[in-house]
Structure 1
């Protein structure tokens, strides 16, 4: 028998995120609207009087009165490095005093510091850390998040990180999408050796040792690589992505963040799900991504944290690119808030609030090959956020303030008055 999971009604504004970037109504706005949820999926969207006549709120397991408030899809954060150990807040302070990220790396800080801390942490510490981050994310409206490995840089720790990501997914209401990123950086050393590590030699290890083990483990969905200055070349990155694809992992690529090195065109060449960062991408790069149906993922929080120039989101949208926006949450970009990312996308990248909404929801789902997420339409999973505001515009307008009051995952409250705060047990069953 069908379960009337929830009825969200009386919304001053319902943003379905079903329009197109650059169009007249990207956010797909409905006024005075309601959403009925049956068995965790959207069963009806429309005027409150029509929806509630067919689906009376008093018959629902969850009666959500959204009078005077806006309802939006749950955010889909398509790029994070949220699984890690350690604290690098002192490096933030050092950068404010003029220390460059390159200088931090040269002194053993930056990613290498996080690698050491992550290798030393227990699985339980990593799980608890990630669950804490997911708590903050869902409180800010995120209902699906991608999390990468990449702070292990050896087979054992990369597998541990993916297992931690999987365990957190099974325990937390937020859906967690696992990405293998053994090619995040060239490690400083190998166990038992003091010789400097050669990048080509490390790529051999990623291809010949890490990827077969990742395939056997069966957790990761994507394979990412940092194709940029000081990381991996286009040829090295191609080796990793093609080897990953041969083992069933869809390619993703960090591209054109620190300098223009050809990573965006590589993403187009290998049919990546997304090419991310793109601070130094050219018009030609963007055209190649659009032609290859690769989602450009912009990460304004990274530019904010580095004090760098921002990607030209307005120009990308105007060329028809299906731009997504994500947080890039990591120890060097310490913001879990998609609302803040949306505000930066508006102020610094030229997107409108409606475009930023689509970029943080439907297009984020596109970057994860999950076309049913990030929208409010019949048949879609009922992942919703109710704002303590009358319009989606208040998210970027109220920058620095969390406007999310209630979050529904599959139509069930996971943030708000009805949420108990309890997590699932760490069982063997998948979500």
Structure 2
């Protein structure tokens, strides 16, 4: 039953609903109403119920309205930065060269371990604000720069604090198997045991973990070690996801799909077996063009094959200090179009509905009755403009749970 009076009514908007059969789910000259933080009505202006009213009514004058954007893969909480490695790469060093020389992830581990919780929060909050100013209303943040229990705990606590401070949804992923810490260089199995039997259950019991991730790669952790972690996560009732097939095909995508994982991420070296497994399991392919760009990679993820097999594709910033210092999800969507040849509609679905799916969230990502009223009003008329413009500020107003906050 329609409420007597809605909380918010937005009129004369171009609504990119990402629902229905029209491209972008576009409703031209549409209206959208919110009540109690949810979408209560959506449709063309001509179908607006007679006498409809709201506490706040805004005429958008033909502006574009979309769901709030979802950044489903970030490493946003970290200490320091790795601008020096950017310099090294431009002087010829590869990602693997830097990692084997003690740089890469391990250098961020040192800086993150040295930072207090308040220092990590102070360094990380501006990065989150930058993403939000570009339209992000749901954000995933991974741990993985602690590689010991207390620092992993601090990172996850900071991620929770960011969500509370900004009034948005932050989903956390425990990434204990990100890199082998230096103190365990000769005791690899002991570290995997620590992650599986101590870190993961302790931090899960504290309510700090929403999902479990790992880096399955020659320079990181083997499929067998990853499986061990996923089995423990499953025992604890936690969903899994995986950094897979970024530098080589280790069978990670098929592995995470065998656990009905939420997503497999990166995927430049993904093969047919992994694609088929992901399609059968419904595992989302998360494409990370920022890392592809920063690392100057040349091998493209198999987008055509993913399309052919009906694997949903998400796009994320992969915001991290070493290989994707990217603070704009809209720019990531542009990169996905220009570098990976996604269409604008695919790219926008990849940062809304399919990105939400990659986080296991089905209450956002589309404009439909009952969905969260996380919305963005843009200085644009047509959805394709969000992928067309390279950089700049297009978000005019962000609505979180139906409450407007100027971007």
TM-score range, shorter chain: over 0.9
Q: Secondary structure at the match of 1:133?
A: helix
Alignment correspondent of 2:236: 247
Structure 1's 241 and 54: CA in aligned 2 closer, same or farther, altered over 3 A? farther
Select which of 252, 271, 274 maps to 1:282: 271
Alignment correspondent of 1:429: none
TM-superposed deviation, 1:330: 0.6
1:324-403 equivalence runs, <5 A: 324-332=314-322, 333-403=324-394
Q: Secondary structure at the match of 2:326?
A: coil
TM-superposed deviation, 1:370: 0.5
Structure 1's 218 and 96: CA in aligned 2 closer, same or farther, altered over 3 A? same
1:406 aligns with 2:397: yes
TM-superposed deviation, 1:310: 2.6
Counterpart Cα distance in 1 of 2:395 and 2:87: 30
1:224-303 equivalence runs, <5 A: 224-303=213-292
Alignment correspondent of 1:43: 40
TM-superposed deviation, 1:26: 4.9
Select which of 72, 81, 87 maps to 1:78: 72
Select which of 156, 161, 164 maps to 1:162: 156
Alignment correspondent of 1:141: 135
Counterpart Cα distance in 2 of 1:295 and 1:257: 15
1:182 aligns with 2:176: yes
Counterpart Cα distance in 1 of 2:387 and 2:276: 28
Alignment correspondent of 2:7: 5
1:10-29 equivalence runs, <5 A: 10-11=12-13, 13-19=14-20, 25-29=22-26
Structure 1's 291 and 342: CA in aligned 2 closer, same or farther, altered over 3 A? same
Preserved contact between residue 36 and residue 51 of structure 1 (Cα < 8 Å): no
Unaligned ranges ≥5, structure 2: none
Counterpart Cα distance in 2 of 1:110 and 1:88: 8
Counterpart Cα distance in 1 of 2:80 and 2:224: 32
Unaligned ranges ≥5, structure 1: 191-195, 417-431
Alignment correspondent of 1:222: 211
Counterpart Cα distance in 1 of 2:336 and 2:175: 26
1:114-125 equivalence runs, <5 A: 114-125=108-119
Alignment correspondent of 1:106: 100
Task: Output the aligned Cα RMSD.
Answer: 1.7
Counterpart Cα distance in 1 of 2:48 and 2:34: 11
Alignment correspondent of 2:165: 171
TM-score with structure 2 length normalisation?
0.95
Q: Secondary structure at the match of 1:189?
A: helix
TM-superposed deviation, 1:104: 1.9
Give per-residue Cα distances to partners, 1:63-90, cap 9 Å, x unaligned: 3332132111111111111111102122
Preserved contact between residue 5 and residue 412 of structure 1 (Cα < 8 Å): no
TM-score with structure 1 length normalisation?
0.90
Counterpart Cα distance in 1 of 2:4 and 2:128: 30
